[in-house]
Structure 1
């Protein structure tokens, strides 16, 4: 069966209520309350978005995310009462696309889910010019969603690719955080932490010295610029 969304939360009320609420707004949603049950639903059905709690009784949502990331690039949204910076960064670093701290309102969660689903569908369907060389040592292939650094392909997640592509397309122009939230995430509720983690991960993959970047420069208090020297 095909589902727009799968919610996995060990609190039955949250999982069931979220699924029912999403269904009312046309987002076909399945739910599970345990690790094994969630993995079974995911493996036996087609899912476009995963909403995942961190605490899954004796198992961890982090472990679930890492397992999914070995085979799929679908968007993953963490929901958790754990609000430490360490937990949030772990969520992003293992492949999560966003992170919401409980408690939250269902209308905010719905808005995020809609945005992530729209972005994912655009990602898998969009056709763009084949290759865009960046002066220096970076090449972007839009059809295959690949980035090469000195001829070697580096693996970027969906949102990392979108962010890098937008920065490159607007090279030598300072882009505010608000513009990146609007144009790349299409979501007004993205946090600075989310953006900063994605920038850091991109730098680690394309820069020779991520701590002293040649391309992606931080403009403190404003945003970022992809700098290409003419």
Structure 2
């Protein structure tokens, strides 16, 4: 990522916030902090946050609920922190949308390593040409930072995974990507799903952004190879 990386750290223990913030700032990250779920959601809505370190047991709105709400609108990387040590607690955290998990007490140096690894995996080679893209005289508009898509000026519902696939195609309009390349660009090399899963995401995207999904003008199939985003006049 070429821009400043913004990280939100959420924990109700002031000492943990101070130490984690100091370590992350030393690594040249910009850090926002919150001591409760309410403030965390406020910062998430107002700032361009790239990754969240989220404690589960926080006041006002629990970490689990914060994660659930964020996952309805964003696929931002989330590392969960918790004092809970049971396997079921870990599974629950990952099930509701966490990407990684650390049990308290934890090594701050290990946290920093995990933050960097998760950022690399989440944003690997997936930078589109601009933050706001307009195609075919405003027929299709894509707000990259807000993860919003409009078709004929009407905002459409799009899942985080569908949006990642769309962004992967938009990194190089006109370039043909194999299914494997799209998986790696959209989800990282550690993704455990099948390459053919991409076909489902492409099908869903076409139904949402194309006038005629059976004769697409944006996402074109290159038979025997994969898919490409047709570079329309902007």
The TM-score with structure 2 as length reference comes to 0.57
In the TM superposition, what is the alpha-carbon distance from 1:95 to its structure 2 partner? Answer: 0.7
d(CA) in 1 for partners of 2:88 and 2:20?
Answer: 26
Matched, 1:130 2:132: no
Aligned-partner SS, 2:193: helix
Structure 2 match to 1:65: 67
Aligned-partner SS, 1:41: helix
Deviations 1:159-214 (A, max 9, x none): 6983336xx59xxxxxxxxxxxxxxxxxxxxxxxxxxxxxxxx9xx9xxxxxxxxx
d(CA) in 2 for partners of 1:118 and 1:144?
Answer: 12
Aligned-partner SS, 1:59: coil
Judge conservation of contact 2:121–2:188 (CA < 8 Å) in 1.
no
The TM-score with structure 1 as length reference comes to 0.57
d(CA) in 1 for partners of 2:51 and 2:17?
Answer: 14
Judge conservation of contact 1:145–1:161 (CA < 8 Å) in 2.
no
Q: 1:84 to 1:123 in 2, by over 3 A?
A: farther
In the TM superposition, what is the alpha-carbon distance from 1:81 to its structure 2 partner? Answer: 0.6
* Count of residue pairs brought into register by the alignment: 151
Equivalent of 1:92, from 88, 94, 99?
A: 94
d(CA) in 2 for partners of 1:78 and 1:159?
Answer: 20
Structure 2 match to 1:120: 122
Judge conservation of contact 1:130–1:143 (CA < 8 Å) in 2.
no
The gaps in structure 1 that reach 5 residues or longer are 133-139, 147-157, 170-201, 206-230
d(CA) in 2 for partners of 1:112 and 1:71?
Answer: 23
1:30-179 pair list within 5 angstroms? 30-122=32-124, 124-125=126-127, 129-132=176-179, 142=182, 158=187, 162-164=191-193
The structure with the largest alpha-carbon Rg is 2
Aligned-partner SS, 1:56: coil
Deviations 1:50-77 (A, max 9, x none): 1000001243101000000011111110
Q: 1:38 to 1:86 in 2, by over 3 A?
A: same
Structure 2 match to 1:186: none
Q: 1:144 to 1:109 in 2, by over 3 A?
A: closer
Judge conservation of contact 2:77–2:122 (CA < 8 Å) in 1.
yes
Judge conservation of contact 2:37–2:66 (CA < 8 Å) in 1.
yes
In the TM superposition, what is the alpha-carbon distance from 1:102 to its structure 2 partner? Answer: 0.5
Aligned-partner SS, 2:33: strand
